[in-house]
Amino acid sequence: MIPKRIGAFIAKDAGSTMVNLTTYPTQFTSRDCFQYFIELNGGKVVDESSAQVSDHMYVLCDKEPCKIIHSDSWNIQMFGEAKIDTMWKMDGVSIYKLSHK
């Protein structure tokens, strides 16, 4: 199950740090299923309705091109000026870890 594997991976990478999470493009699977498995594995995700911005944002993208930096997605823009810290591919999904510039 893709959300289960990706959620466990993000939880391990983020450790006990609170993170923002979104999917791109917006038609991609709801972020809620990924958030569930991140939290099930001990991770902490900022509530989607909150304006809180953490030190890192994970963006999950399943369609190329993954326009992550300078994206028109408000979910990504709300994080602020960012750079791609790290990128992984897992089960056909690109996982981008963003940090602030």
What pLDDT is stored for residue 3 in this prediction? 92
The 3-state DSSP class for residue 97 equals strand
Do the beta carbons of residue 59 and residue 22 sit within 8 Å? yes
Structure tokens at 24: 């791109």
What pLDDT is stored for residue 46 in this prediction? 96
From the list 51, 54, 49, 48, the residue with the least C-alpha distance to 97 is 54
What pLDDT is stored for residue 59 in this prediction? 96
Per residue in 22-54, pLDDT (tens digit) is: 998 766 667 899 999 999 999 999 998 888 999
Per residue in 67-94, pLDDT (tens digit) is: 899 888 888 999 999 999 999 999 999 9
The DSSP bridge partners found for residue 56 are 99
* Selected residue with higher pLDDT from 1 and 88: 88
Q: What is the mean pLDDT of residues 4-11?
A: 97
Question: Where are the chain's structural domains?
Answer: 2-100
Cα gap 66→94, rounded to integer Å: 8
Bridge pairing between strands 93-100 and 18-24: unpaired
What pLDDT is stored for residue 28 in this prediction? 60
User: Is the pTM for the entire model greater than 0.85?
Assistant: yes
Q: What is the mean pLDDT of residues 52-73?
A: 91
